[in-house]
Amino acid sequence: MWKIIVRRVLIMIPQLFVLSLLIFILAKQLPGDPFTGLLTPDTDPNRIEELRELAGLNDPWYVQYVNWIGNAAQGDFGKSYTYKIKVSTLIGEKALNTFWLSLVSAIILYLIAIPLGVLAGRYQDTIFDKIIVFYSFVTYAIPTFVLALIFLFIFGYQLHWFPTVGSVDVKYDPGTAGYFWSKLYHMLLPAITTAILGTTSVIQYLRSEIIDAKSLDYVRTARSKGIPVNKVYSRHIFRNSLLPIAAFLGFTITGLLVGSIFIETIFGYPGMGQLFISSLLSRDYSVITALVMLFGLLALLGSLLSDIIMSIVDPRIRIE
């Protein structure tokens, strides 16, 4: 299995290469450059031109690309034009924030969705099931930003239960327990919002998986053994129905990371998503390209993770 995983990781290299080329070319197509914004009527055009020359922006695109990819391979994505610090440093800290936020979101998501989906499927067509189905319709219909704004307004501004901005209270020093709790506390509201929005598909999927499983042949075989209904569910139905959910875990995490783009912006949470939006607005190429590369890499890792999980939980599957 390790061999196969290593091979899969190696295959990612050409994939990332193609991705990088696409991103670079697309980024170059965007109108303007980092210096466009600095232009005022009294800027000296020659000065701007000098800066461009210095930044290598006047080189042919392939020269720029080779320079960029060469450095990128060593983890150096250049300097942010806006923040004037290394892109890797800038992203590193924010990526960590986003990573934790996504992880907490995923945990909350599954804590809500798995029990609800399982119960709705098992007690199909009861009042209980109908309430859950109604809940998932509501969360399906509501757009991300609307729910986020409502939550922010009620729980943040009205009730003051949660902070409305930032990722940690500045009064704590990193490494202390207070710092940890403050981080978690700041994450909670955006994480709950993201999680709730993500529950719809998991609940619906699980519910229908379980309803279908009830009439499967091997479930009938299990029932013909005369084992208690609860055992039929726990040993034969649930495990098999959770399989596809486990399979989607990798993709779900990728989805949460990408989904953070809106959530972080609304909750003023300093993560990759927020950084992505602000870099887009300021045409901070080096940051944009690095972020898109990172999102791409995460998508590839997500699918690898899904395959690995599947091969662990399903004996029929061996990753190839």
Tokens of 14: 């050409």
Shortest Å, Cβ 233 to other proteins: 13
Task: Please answer whether residues 142 and 158 qualify as being in contact, where contact means their C-beta atoms are separated by less than 8 angstroms.
Answer: no
Tell me the C-alpha to C-alpha distance, in Å, between residue 27 and each of 7, 23, 144.
30, 6, 27
Name the residue nearer to other proteins (CB basis): 149 or 243: 243
Residue 122, interface with other proteins (CB under 8 A)?
A: no
Range in contact with other proteins (rule: CB under 8 A) among 44-52, 166-174, 192-200, 230-238: 230-238
Name the residue nearer to other proteins (CB basis): 131 or 216: 216
Shortest Å, Cβ 253 to other proteins: 23
Residue 126, interface with other proteins (CB under 8 A)?
A: no
Which of positions 243-272 make contact with other proteins (CB under 8 A)?
Answer: 243
Tokens of 135: 């809940």
Neighbouring CB atoms inside 10 A of 5's CB total 14
Shortest Å, Cβ 239 to other proteins: 6
Cα-based angle 127, 132, 135 (whole degrees, multiple of 5): 125
DSSP element (H, E) containing 251: helix 239-267
Name the residue nearer to other proteins (CB basis): 74 or 230: 230
Name the residue nearer to other proteins (CB basis): 144 or 208: 208
Range in contact with other proteins (rule: CB under 8 A) among 223-231, 256-264, 268-276, 297-305: 223-231
* Torsion sign across C-alpha atoms 297, 299, 305, 307: negative
Rg (CA), the chain: 24
| Residues at the contact surface with other proteins, assessed by CB under 8 A | 214-218, 220-229, 231, 235-236, 239-240, 243, 313-316
